[in-house]
Structure 1
Amino acid sequence: MKTPEILFLCTGNSCRSILAEVTMNGLADSRLHATSAGSHPAGYVHPRSIQLLQQEGFATEGLSSKSWDELNTTPDIVITVCASAAGEACPAYLGPAIRAHWRVEDPAKATGSEAEIDAAFQTAYRILRHRIDALLKLPVAEWLEKDPAQLRQELNRIGTMEL
């Protein structure tokens, strides 16, 4: 079985999708491979995202904010992480991939004190980490091949999980 490719997609590709990509790749032990992209990339990875990932023990070298037009592989699964209630234009990825939506508030839009902004990044990371941990318990490669409807259902269920 080939390694399933997961694309985490958001608008700016500077925070949430980057957090998800790095976390997935750091925890998946090569069972899954994640990339991230945006429909309107910010052009940089948010420094607080890099700092948080480093604090969690993940490598951050070579990270970049990129457009979905720059992808070299066709994903098997696309997970959008936009918080549509916040008025974001969440991109719709066209293609044969299984799609799911994991709504997460954008910490880059957080305001307030430094502690409040840091808390927004921590919250986004913790939600994504919780959901990624749940995803890693699934037989993704097997279901992708034999039961994509079951996989889609589980991805959508995971997307509703709170902390």
Structure 2
Amino acid sequence: MESSTAADVFAALGQESRLELLRALLEAGPSGLSAGAIGTALGIVPSTLSFHLRALEQVGLIRPTRQGRSLIYAVQVDRLRQTIAFLTESCCGGQPELCGALTLPMLASSPENSPMKPAFNVLFLCTRNSARSLMAEAVLRKLGGDRFRAYSAGSDPAPQPMPEVVEKLKTLGHDVSGIRSKSWQEFLHREAPRMDFVIALCDTLQGQNCPDFGDRAITASWPLPGPGKFEPGSSERVLLLNELYASLHRRIGIFTNLKFDALDRMSLRHQLDDLAQAPLSVAKDR
């Protein structure tokens, strides 16, 4: 980190309300908090809160992610690590390992401006893991080749996938032999694959906070409507499934073709957030 960048970070933190704001977001973890929740917790009026949020965002300490109609703010841990590392890099005559446990995790962390390289583990999340996330998993398995490993899970998984989803994927040439609805708890134990990307496809995940998949994972939200609100076999459900497949195929196609070797982690976050704005469109069976 350059001295000028570090000075900007410290200047942004040179105000008591911003320090309390950052502490509140650190306590919330990777799921973050909405502006309304932050304002209520800290007793800050919206206009003043917006000013403080913008100051911290401009120096890269926090980042908003759109989830449905809300902006969720979370701490950018890598930027915080870089700032602490800046303070300690000359510690003990250029031997920061002698300064104690404070600096060692900072030395081991991957910097925010480091490019990411495939193969990537990608986890798609949805509440029931019966339609949207399963389609996304199947599409990425087909489009991603050896460069991506696709997974999906849910916070409250259904007993089984929607039959229409399995049939559609099979008709479109996807391997459905391993398709099943499963809990995201399968990906939280120590032996589970470490995720590089975690993409939520529900509007709200029924108000639940996503679990912590580690600092390595880049998170994004692509809120898409759920087909479960329509009756099985109805024309509305068939139409929506076509739209969902088309939207996911388009977004994942763009995602797999990003120039990962030329993009740092922050740029990739922006790219994934931009893909969330892609509209639905009806797909013809491929």
Please say whether Structure 1 and Structure 2 have the same fold, judged by a TM-score greater than 0.5. yes
Partner residue, 1:55: 171
Give 5+ residue unaligned stretches, structure 1. none
Q: What secondary structure does 2:178 align onto?
A: coil
| Count of paired positions | 158
Deviates most, 34-43 or 89-98: 89-98
Partner of 2:183: 67
Cα gap change, 1:118/1:80 in structure 2, threshold over 3 Å: closer, same or farther?
A: same
- Residue 88 of structure 1: which of 197, 201, 206 is its match? 206
Higher gyration radius (CA) = 2
Match of 1:7 in 2: 123
Q: Which residue of 2 aligns with 1:161?
A: 278
1:32: which partner in 2? 148
Say if 1:91 and 1:35 are closer, same or farther in 2 by CA, change over 3 A: farther
Q: Which residue of 2 aligns with 1:150?
A: 267
- Asked if 1:41 corresponds to 2:157, the answer is yes
Other-structure match for 2:135: 19
Which amino acid letter does the alignment assign opposite residue 122 of structure 1? Answer: N
Which has the higher relative contact order, 1 or 2, with Cα contacts under 8 A spaced 6 or more apart?
1
> Sequence identity of aligned pairs in percent?
32
Give the direction of change, closer, same or farther, for the CA distance of 1:137–1:66 in structure 2 (3 Å limit).
Answer: same
Amino acid paired to 2:248: L
CA contact (8 A) 1:12 1:40 kept: yes
- The offset of 1:126, in angstroms, is 1.1
Report the Cα offset of residue 113 of structure 1.
6.5
Counterpart of 1:115, as a letter, is S
Deviation at 1:32?
1.1
Show the counterpart of 1:110.
230
In 1, are the aligned partners of 2:118 and 2:147 still within 8 Å (CA)? no
Structure with the higher fraction of residues in helix conformation: 2
Of 51-60 and 109-118, more deviation after overlay is shown by 109-118
Q: Note the C-alpha offset of 1:112.
A: 8.4
1:61 match: secondary structure: coil
Q: Quick one: distance in 2 between partners of 1:105 and 1:90?
A: 17
Partner of 2:257: 137
Report the Cα offset of residue 132 of structure 1: 0.7
Q: 1:62 to 1:17 in 2, by over 3 A?
A: same
After superposition, the Cα gap between the structure-2 partners of 1:28 and 1:43, relative to the gap in structure 1 and judged at 3 Å, is: same
User: 2-side partners of 1:121 and 1:83: how far apart?
Assistant: 16
Report how far residue 83 of structure 1 moved.
Answer: 2.3
